[in-house]
Chains A and B, each alone.
Chain A
Amino acid sequence: MQKVAEIAQKRAIQLLNQGVVNRVIGWKKGEFGYDETPAVFTTAAGIEDFRYDVFSAPNLSKYLIDESKKEGKILAFLKPCDTYSFNQLIKEHRVNRDNVYIIGIECGGMADINTIRNRGAAGVTDVADNGQTVIAHTLYGDVTFDKNEVLLEKCQACKGKKHVIFDELIVVNPQDDEPKNRFAGVEAIENMTPEERFAFWREQLSKCIRCNACRNVCPACSCLQCVFDNPRSGVASKASPDTFEEQLYHIIRAFHVAGRCTDCGECSRVCPQDIPLHLLNRKFIKDMNAFYGEYKAGEDSETRPPLVNFSKDDAEPSVISDKGGDK
């Protein structure tokens, strides 16, 4: 991983110096070695702070909506799953492809500091990545974890290691492209009784503080004016005193991104209350796969997504109702 970071850093400096790009979007080091922040670098000297490691989780595609509309070309480092988001944004005419130079960057899975904390490492001051293991240096001693056990949910359910759009690649250690089973969590909920399912979501959604982090980080939430920011909607931006209305926020959002969500997992990563929001989106993905055939949003930037396409083979509404209804 460190080697990948070094190559990326050098390449960024090269492309800046050659004038191919005038800015670079990547990740910058934080306070504790686990809190990388997305950053735009404009000078070769500034790129010294560039970091790429197991905590470079933030998906940079969303920033490219704005960045690709600025003067000059920007170099963007995109992990495999981030390239799906970028493709989807091209499909929705939200980014200017010509203004972005994409380097697809190798990803061995991103670690989750919350999981590290939840598994007993309090007071983490730095984290070292040793390939198979990660070591959390804490105020109370070192704690070693098997990396696979502390991966972000989105990485445990990785779609695959293939970059679906790029201008060049930095892949030092080609990795097994076998996608993991993404739907085990959805199946577990499908197997609940309706009462259990209702109780599960009521409890999870009751934690929501309506900070809008899930929406603001979501590459599919690219509306210029969100319905939840429209003062006339009656549900604008803020917490509602009615818990029923409040919980609709997430459901409506899931409907809005259905067929466009690339399952980048950022919603669940950023939720301060750890609400498993990806399960809502993934339920839609699973059902669409079942009804309309396998489809991965963002896999390319041209094909018509199933929900806005019509074919004679489409599932009949009654079929959908049977499958999605009582079970």
Chain B
Amino acid sequence: MLKIKKSNLDKLYAAISERQILYVPCNVAGKPNFAVWGEGADVDLVSLKTVKSAKEVFFPQCEDIASFRKEGKNISVKSEHKESGDFVVFGVRACDCKSFDILDSVFLADPVDTFYKTKREHGTVITLACSKPEETCFCSAFGIDNAEPEGDIATYFAGEYLYWSPKTEKGLNLTKTLNSLLQTATDKDNDALEKEQKKIKEITGRLPLYVLDLSYWEADDLLEKFNSEKWKALSESCIGCGACTFVCPTCQCYDVRDFDKGHGVQRYRCWDSCMYKDFTMMAHGTPRPTQMQRFRQRFMHKLVYHPSNHEGVFSCVGCGRCVEKCPMHINIVKVIKTFGGDDK
């Protein structure tokens, strides 16, 4: 275990930035989001949740995939896949870190998404334990430990220090380059850290969503869940925006679009939402004409379809962003609770 004084964190950011790009939660116009660190950045490691999750570092909201030029009848195609430089993402919470596994299970499955893979290979993830969990958090329901996050390096705030624990080779390599800034933790430090983690666990146990019964979703009756009458009332107030989707760390659906720059065409992909009515629209119509169907698709995907294809792993990490951000306060927790547990 290593440590660095909180007051020295700026030096740490600068040292990392000297060698590679550093993404860290920063306040821009009053809202924390992951941003590239630069001198004078308003780093925010206190706010628990960035508005957008850390997924955008590996799966950006917009990403060029190809470009085309047309000369007469001839088209030329250029791949926009670029080798990535090494980079660091600092301040990733345990839930967001877990979401990378879920994204991996989609994007790294054969055939591999090379755009995503390159970034995953070059990114070092530094997680941060959640000193102050909030009421919207329910990562515990998915077996995530917010006091002991995974990642290449795990960090923890306690007292005057940020504690630093490398967990992988990538993490160790980065740590080596920062040796002059990091000190070895003493027994006293370890005690302080242990106390802090105990405190986190105590609060987590008191979270209103700490107990969330997922047993109903573990049963294998896809069509029964799909055909349930409950979807109608649940989806009634959904306005069909994409707020839940775009703040979600595990939503990975995307659209592919062409942008005519006038002197060539840029083909890019961008986040898309199954809540949008054009998501499945074809020339002759859409198989999901109602908002109820689109709403059901999103939650069935997270709680039934994804687990069915990925050894029972739910496509939710309990970060609670959708709980906070839905304009009408409908969210996955309400869906889970409405369907209930074993007995319902």
Contact assessment for A270 and B243 in the assembled complex, using a CB-CB cutoff below 8 Å: yes
Specify which of A58, A206, A241, A270 is in contact with B62 (CB 8 Å cutoff): A241
Contacts of B328 in A (CB 8 A): 37-38, 58
Give B329 Cβ to nearest chain A Cβ, in Å. 4
Contacts of B266 in A (CB 8 A): 241
Q: What separation, in Å, do the CA atoms of A216 and B241 have in the docked complex?
A: 6
Contact assessment for A139 and B203 in the assembled complex, using a CB-CB cutoff below 8 Å: yes
Q: What separation, in Å, do the CA atoms of A177 and B316 have in the docked complex?
A: 47
Q: Which residue of B lies closest to A123 (CB)?
A: B134
Q: What separation, in Å, do the CA atoms of A239 and B135 have in the docked complex?
A: 31
Contact assessment for B62 and A240 in the assembled complex, using a CB-CB cutoff below 8 Å: yes
A207 at the interface (CB under 8 A from B): yes
Nearest first, the 5 closest Cβ-Cβ pairs linking A and B are A270-B327, A35-B329, A213-B241, A38-B237, A211-B243
Known: A123-B134, A203-B28, A236-B278. 19 other contacts (CB 8 A): A31-B208, A37-B237, A40-B236, A63-B237, A207-B28, A209-B246, A211-B243, A212-B241, A213-B243, A217-B241, A229-B276, A231-B278, A238-B257, A239-B271, A240-B270, A241-B259, A270-B241, A272-B246, A272-B247
Contacts of A231 in B (CB 8 A): 278
A296 at the interface (CB under 8 A from B): no
Contact assessment for A122 and B323 in the assembled complex, using a CB-CB cutoff below 8 Å: no
A140 at the interface (CB under 8 A from B): yes
Within A129-144, which residues are at the interface with B (CB < 8 Å)? 138-140
Q: Which residue of B lies closest to A212 (CB)?
A: B241
Contacts of B333 in A (CB 8 A): 31
Q: What separation, in Å, do the CA atoms of A215 and B240 have in the docked complex?
A: 10
24 pairs, A vs B, C-beta closer than 8 Å: A31-B208, A37-B328, A37-B329, A38-B236, A63-B237, A122-B48, A122-B132, A124-B135, A139-B133, A204-B29, A211-B242, A211-B245, A212-B241, A234-B259, A236-B278, A238-B272, A239-B271, A240-B259, A241-B62, A241-B268, A241-B270, A266-B327, A270-B241, A272-B51
B277 at the interface (CB under 8 A from A): yes
Within A271-327, which residues are at the interface with B (CB < 8 Å)? 272-275
Q: What separation, in Å, do the CA atoms of A126 and B206 have in the docked complex?
A: 14
Specify which of A242, A266, A274 is in contact with B30 (CB 8 Å cutoff): A274
Q: Which residue of A lies closest to B29 (CB)?
A: A203
Contact assessment for A125 and B208 in the assembled complex, using a CB-CB cutoff below 8 Å: yes
A237 at the interface (CB under 8 A from B): yes
Q: What separation, in Å, do the CA atoms of A217 and B325 have in the docked complex?
A: 13
Q: Which residue of A lies closest to B267 (CB)?
A: A241
Contacts of A215 in B (CB 8 A): 241
B12 at the interface (CB under 8 A from A): no
Chain A contributes a number of interface residues (CB within 8 A of B) equal to 48
Contact assessment for A241 and B64 in the assembled complex, using a CB-CB cutoff below 8 Å: yes
Of B133, B245, B270, chain A has the most CB atoms within 10 Å of the CB of B270
Contact assessment for B246 and A210 in the assembled complex, using a CB-CB cutoff below 8 Å: yes
Contact assessment for B278 and A207 in the assembled complex, using a CB-CB cutoff below 8 Å: no
Q: Which residue of B lies closest to A272 (CB)?
A: B325
Given contacts A139-B206, A209-B52, A241-B268, contact A123 B132 (CB under 8 A): yes
B260 at the interface (CB under 8 A from A): yes
B113 at the interface (CB under 8 A from A): no
Which residues of B are interface residues toward A (Cβ below 8 A)?
28-31, 33, 48, 51-52, 61-62, 64, 132-135, 203, 206-209, 233, 236-237, 239-243, 245-247, 255, 257, 259-260, 266, 268, 270-273, 276-278, 323, 325, 327-330, 333-334
Give B147 Cβ to nearest chain A Cβ, in Å. 15
Contact assessment for B135 and A139 in the assembled complex, using a CB-CB cutoff below 8 Å: yes
Of B33, B135, B268, B333, chain A has the most CB atoms within 10 Å of the CB of B135
Contact assessment for B209 and A206 in the assembled complex, using a CB-CB cutoff below 8 Å: no
A183 at the interface (CB under 8 A from B): no
Give B212 Cβ to nearest chain A Cβ, in Å. 11
A198 at the interface (CB under 8 A from B): no
Contact assessment for A209 and B247 in the assembled complex, using a CB-CB cutoff below 8 Å: yes
Contact assessment for A125 and B241 in the assembled complex, using a CB-CB cutoff below 8 Å: no
A32 at the interface (CB under 8 A from B): yes
Q: What separation, in Å, do the CA atoms of A140 and B206 have in the docked complex?
A: 11
Contacts of A210 in B (CB 8 A): 61, 242, 246
Specify which of A140, A206, A216 is in contact with B239 (CB 8 Å cutoff): A216
Q: What separation, in Å, do the CA atoms of A274 and B29 have in the docked complex?
A: 9
Q: What separation, in Å, do the CA atoms of A32 and B331 have in the docked complex?
A: 13
A5 at the interface (CB under 8 A from B): no
Given contacts A239-B271, A241-B64, contact A31 B334 (CB under 8 A): yes
Specify which of B31, B64, B134, B207 is in contact with A122 (CB 8 Å cutoff): B134
Contact assessment for B133 and A123 in the assembled complex, using a CB-CB cutoff below 8 Å: yes
Contacts of A35 in B (CB 8 A): 323, 329
Q: Which residue of B lies closest to A236 (CB)?
A: B278
Give A39 Cβ to nearest chain B Cβ, in Å. 6
Contact assessment for A273 and B271 in the assembled complex, using a CB-CB cutoff below 8 Å: no
Contacts of B270 in A (CB 8 A): 238-241
Given contacts A38-B328, A209-B51, contact A217 B239 (CB under 8 A): yes
A94 at the interface (CB under 8 A from B): no
A30 at the interface (CB under 8 A from B): yes
Q: Which residue of A lies closest to B272 (CB)?
A: A238
Q: What separation, in Å, do the CA atoms of A322 and B61 have in the docked complex?
A: 40
A153 at the interface (CB under 8 A from B): no
Q: What separation, in Å, do the CA atoms of A222 and B239 have in the docked complex?
A: 12
Give B98 Cβ to nearest chain A Cβ, in Å. 21
Contact assessment for B240 and A32 in the assembled complex, using a CB-CB cutoff below 8 Å: no
Contacts of A239 in B (CB 8 A): 61-62, 270-271
A131-174 vs B, CB cutoff 8 Å, 1 = contact: the mask equals 00000001110000000000000000000000000000000000
A228-268 vs B, CB cutoff 8 Å, 1 = contact: the mask equals 01010010111111100000000000000000000000100
Given contacts A31-B208, A207-B28, contact A237 B276 (CB under 8 A): yes
